[in-house]
A and B are shown apart, each in its own frame.
Chain A
């Protein structure tokens, strides 16, 4: 589904963050990526999402190189096939929950009928008319998950989605995310520092300067 081919990325000033990175993610697979701060986890997600371009190498989605797409095509790909969950929730404060969740549907030009059902799926039934300011952190992240999955994307990218939540709420949100990703038949990449969070994925990968490597089962606990 996703293939990374010999990705290299450095920032202005010469700081090399990703070097010769290769990896293949199969359809329906849900992996967690761990690693030290600054190792390039968020950069990797940005490259996969087409928000940034590698210095060399290719990111392939279903065999098509995302870096060969122009900005409009990359944007269309993102809105049709990707879902995003962020640490800082990133919900639009002046839209209701229903409107926030419906955004990907509107952008894809499809019916917004499924929003209420998705609200119910993330445990926010009957609160569609509420505004984000009326919700707790955990509830906001549920909204973000609902928005990430409402349009049935092929790949969900989650960047530290529980970084702002207490452990109990974090676990609840992670399990919800896993359940919904699996229920939608999507693939998922979860970037996290938390071993507990990573443990909710099918596989855990460690990003180091040497590349992406599977983490042994004993290292995840």
Chain B
């Protein structure tokens, strides 16, 4: 009872006197936790909904058979139906079409159609069955009927009986909305129609996307999965729901982890703020703690007191953060859906679900970082020698132990080693740890840097001038480096993070801009709004385009998806004309490409993106097989002839000769074309001719400059969350600067009173404080730049390649960095000035007498 009362008195007394500092620490923790928790809630809601929606469409099958390409020949279906181990096989054709009315909005104009056999689907995926509200059960077999989920109906603004125009390839198909679905997930936009009708109407005759299987009783699924895969050969993949989950997880994992890590960076800045608040509180209360020790408070009791104070800060901050995070996530999901700009989770409308486990984890994290921030100050307070601590002027000694350089140097060495480590589970865990250790190490070395810099500055300036104000400001900074470095730490942490993020984003943006210049060499591009993997421009349509006057060169290309590993997202195969001897003319090759003379006999060349190297182990000169060609034929050998940079597809892409592709597959269709105009031809003229083609409705025609501008716009949108997180980290850092300046200046009230007594006017004291603040900020900004630049190297050369499998060049946004540096220096000087004004508002005579 007594110890609890004592704890309460001491805590309430401290907070009553320094409420602002306590609030700043609480806000910092709350913001860090809120960011982390809200991002986690949004991502997991979106991920779960996306995953459930995908599984919902796939039904309750034991296994699925898919092709290595998006569609495969339905000839496989009767084989599986007759297989003695298979009880039921359900064929499905799944593809996207473009809604004619929404053609202009290329990011939100696609509808997924499931073609099913309703008599078989009812046993495996009963939810994906169309229901006619007028009771005509056989309408599900009509060739003009389509059934829409409620979300699709709402999105398309249609009702039963309305006609719907859908585009696939160069054709437009009109269908009748015949009803809804038996069950559909909230927000899921999907349509269902008879599989035969879908194959016929959308020109996918004889093709399937997957066959869902129910196994006969007593069949061991795992063993059968292996034997069936061997039986079907390399052109098919036998997968189960775990593979699908892994695939969805792999698709967005790096993005989700990186966002969470950015939120953790904000939390780390908050933890540093708690540390500096606790250290300053410890310095301010050093004599009080010593008195309590004299009066009989044991070391353990004092340690407990300081840690409990930290616990209260952490508990309040974490709880506030959880509430704020939940509210933020609920608001964001309500207004913006679950897609935080990545594009991974578009098309689902997830609901927020409060997870006690996640809340407990974030609470423990918030409390943990607060206790971590309190531990060192608590330890110092408990172990300070009592008698010397009772004397005035011992404050800087309190920080000497905290300023021991060896732990800091150890942090830097370990950080250096961590940069050499490979990714863990394809995530740059060691890269992030290196960043944290680097920050901790450099911040812990601040007293040394501070003493070194300001001592040298003091020596130089006293030789040249004997003015009191600069001498006093510099003396304080040089001779009390430990206290100075606390304020410096806040500036350093926030500015370095800002610099690192700004350099990383600028490097990425400039690299993407350069890359777009390389991958968009033509003047204009034409593609089909939606072709599926099997549709596209047929040879006669290609000839019609080639006949357009004013075009000096026309390169057709074919893009399709390939499944190399069922647990990973598909890779993209792009077939186009490539000069075997100079692929760099059209592909952004990194390093040297293999000369055509070195291609092994019988091997076709392919050029692979960096992601293929990381994810599939492809290297220049490797001979590999790709599941192209017809099932049952001998697999063609390919040689990896070069590696290229691809910012468009993080899961891997392969380029090959269009002629090789056509020879292997017999597929003459293409789905895009690059147009080089003759010098005297205006693009409008070609555009007009293209618009006059009979299939012009299905064409998306863009100038390369438009594609470039749109791509950069998407880039900026996808980094919007990053900018927000960066700003929060900077705000937390600036709060820290304000808190530490304010706290230190108040603690120096006696010094200011004494200076007033000996004749310094208030203006001179304000000048001294502004000079201290400004000089500290200059050093903080300088070191923050060096630290931020180093962190950016880790982000650019380790975190990004390990997360997204692409490299980039380093670019520094000098203008922005100089602007923020100036803002930081000016705000630091102003903060110091304002804090000084408050400290000097007290009773000067009394303050000195108390000393």
A residues neighboring B (CB under 8 Å) = 42, 46, 49, 51-52, 71-72, 75-76, 78-80, 84, 86, 88, 90, 92-95, 99, 103-110, 137, 147, 164
Q: Which of B9-17, B442-450, B658-666, B694-702 contacts A (4 or more CB under 8 A)?
A: B9-17
- B391 to chain A: closest residue by CB: A88
Contact, CB under 8 Å: B296 / A104: yes
**Residue of B1, B10, B849 with highest tally of chain A CB at under 10 A:** B10
Question: A104: nearest residue on chain B (CB-CB)?
Answer: B295
Docked pose: A71 CA to B384 CA in angstroms: 12
Which B residues touch A164, using CB under 8 A?
849
Distance of B400 from chain A, by nearest CB (Å):
15
Residue on A nearest B299 in the bound complex, by CB: A71
Pairs across A and B, CB under 8 Å, 14 listed: A42-B387, A71-B299, A75-B293, A76-B298, A78-B294, A78-B295, A80-B296, A84-B295, A93-B17, A94-B17, A106-B6, A107-B6, A107-B297, A147-B295
**Complex contact A109–B3 (CB within 8 A):** yes
Whole-angstrom distance between the Cβ of A129 and the nearest chain B Cβ = 13
- When distances are taken between beta carbons in the complex, the residues of chain A under 8 Å from B287 are 90
**In the bound complex, do residue B295 and residue A103 qualify as a contact, i.e. CB atoms below 8 Å apart?**
yes
Which of A78, A90, A99 is B390 in contact with, Cβ under 8 Å? A90
Let me know if A105 and B2 touch, CB within 8 A: yes
**Chain A residues closer than 8 Å to B17, beta-carbon distance:** 93-94
Judged by a CB distance under 8 angstroms, whether B300 is at the interface is yes
Chain B CB within 10 A, most for which of A46, A52, A80, A92: A92
Q: Which residues of B contact A42 (CB under 8 A)?
A: 387
Instruction: Across the interface, name the chain B residue whose C-beta is closest to A93.
Output: B17
**Given contacts A103-B292, A106-B2, A75 and B14 within 8 Å (CB-CB):** no
Also in contact, A78 and B296, with CB within 8 A (given A51-B387, A110-B2): yes
Interface status of B288 (Cβ within 8 A of chain A): yes
Assess A75 versus B298: contact at CB under 8 Å? Given A92-B291, A103-B292.
yes
Instruction: Pick from B288, B295, B386: contact of A107, CB below 8 A.
Output: B295
Q: Which residues of A contact B297 (CB under 8 A)?
A: 75, 79, 107
Q: A51-B294, A90-B390, A94-B17 provided; 20 other pairs, C-beta below 8 A?
A: A72-B299, A75-B296, A75-B298, A76-B298, A79-B297, A84-B295, A86-B390, A92-B10, A92-B291, A95-B10, A99-B13, A103-B6, A103-B295, A106-B3, A107-B2, A107-B6, A108-B2, A109-B3, A137-B849, A147-B295
Write out the residue numbers on chain A whose beta carbons fall within 8 Å of the beta carbon of B293: 51, 75
Please determine whether B299 and A95 come into contact, CB atoms closer than 8 angstroms: no
Which of A84, A86, A92, A110 has a CB less than 8 Å from the CB of B13? A92
Residues of A within 8 A of B13 (CB): 92, 94-95, 99
Q: Does B5 contact A (CB under 8 A)?
A: yes
Distance in Å from the Cβ of B5 to the closest Cβ of chain A? 6
Task: Decide: B298 and A72 in contact? CB cutoff 8 A.
Answer: yes
Q: How large is the interface on B (under 10, 10 to 19, 20 to 34, 35 or more residues)?
A: 20 to 34
Of chain B, the residue at the smallest CB distance from A140 is B850
- Decide if B392 is an interface residue (CB 8 Å cutoff): yes
Measured in the bound complex, the distance between the Cα atoms of B848 and A137 in whole Å is 12
Query: 1/0 per residue B93-136: CB within 8 Å of A?
Result: 00000000000000000000000000000000000000000000
Contacts of A80 in B (CB 8 A): 296
The answer on a CB contact under 8 Å between A94 and B294 is no
Q: A51-B386, A109-B2 are in contact. Are A90 and B291 (CB under 8 A)?
A: yes
> A78 to B291, alpha carbons, bound, how many Å?
12
- A66 CA to B715 CA in the complex, in Å? 72
* Among A52, A71, A95, A104, contact of B9 (Cβ-Cβ < 8 Å): A95
Expressed in whole angstroms, the minimum distance between the Cβ of A31 and any Cβ of chain B is: 20
Give the residues in chain B near A84, CB-CB below 8 Å. 294-295
Query: For the complex, what is the distance from the CA of A79 to the CA of B292, rounded to whole Å?
Result: 10
Known: A95-B13, A109-B3. A52 touches B295 (CB 8 A): no
CA gap between A104 and B9 in the complex, in Å: 13
Contact A94 B16 (CB under 8 A): yes
Contact between B300 and A72, CB atoms less than 8 A apart: yes
A108, B5: Cα distance in complex, Å = 12
The answer for the CA separation of A104 and B14 in the assembled complex, in Å, is 19
CB-nearest residue of chain A relative to B297?
A107
Residues of A within 8 A of B288 (CB): 92-93
Tell me the complex Cα distance, A78–B13, Å. 24
B748 CB to closest chain A CB (Å) equals: 16
Contacts of A106 in B (CB 8 A): 2-3, 5-6, 9
For the complex, give the distance between the alpha carbons of A71 and B386 in Å.
Answer: 11
Which among B288, B294, B300 has the greatest number of chain A C-beta atoms within 10 A? B294
Separation of A34 and B17 alpha carbons in the complex (Å): 39
Contact indicator per residue, chain B 1-36, by CB within 8 Å of chain A (1) or not (0) = 111011001100110110000000000000000000
* Docked pose: A145 CA to B495 CA in angstroms: 51
Residues of A within 8 A of B851 (CB): 88
Q: Nearest chain B CB to A195's CB is how many angstroms away? A: 24
**How many Å lie between the Cα of A51 and that of B297 in the bound state?**
12
Contact B296 A108 (CB under 8 A): yes
In the assembled complex, the Cα of A80 lies from the Cα of B386 at a distance in Å of: 18
User: How far, in angstroms, from A132 to B2 measured CA to CA in the complex?
Assistant: 22
User: Nearest chain B CB to A11's CB is how many angstroms away?
Assistant: 11
Q: A88-B392, A90-B291, A103-B6 are in contact. Are A52 and B387 (CB under 8 A)?
A: yes
In the complex, the answer to whether B9 meets A79 with C-beta atoms within 8 Å is no
Decide: A79 and B299 in contact? CB cutoff 8 A. Answer: no
Measured between beta carbons, the chain A residues less than 8 angstroms from B386 are 51
- The residue in chain A whose Cβ has the minimal distance to the Cβ of B846 is A133
A contact residues around B292 at 8 Å (CB): 103
Question: Which 8 A-B pairs rank lowest in CB-CB distance, beginning with the nearest?
Answer: A79-B296, A94-B13, A106-B6, A107-B296, A106-B2, A94-B17, A109-B2, A46-B387
Using Cβ atoms and an 8 Å threshold, which residues of chain A touch B9?
Answer: 95, 99, 106
- B298: chain A residues at CB < 8 Å are 71-72, 75-76
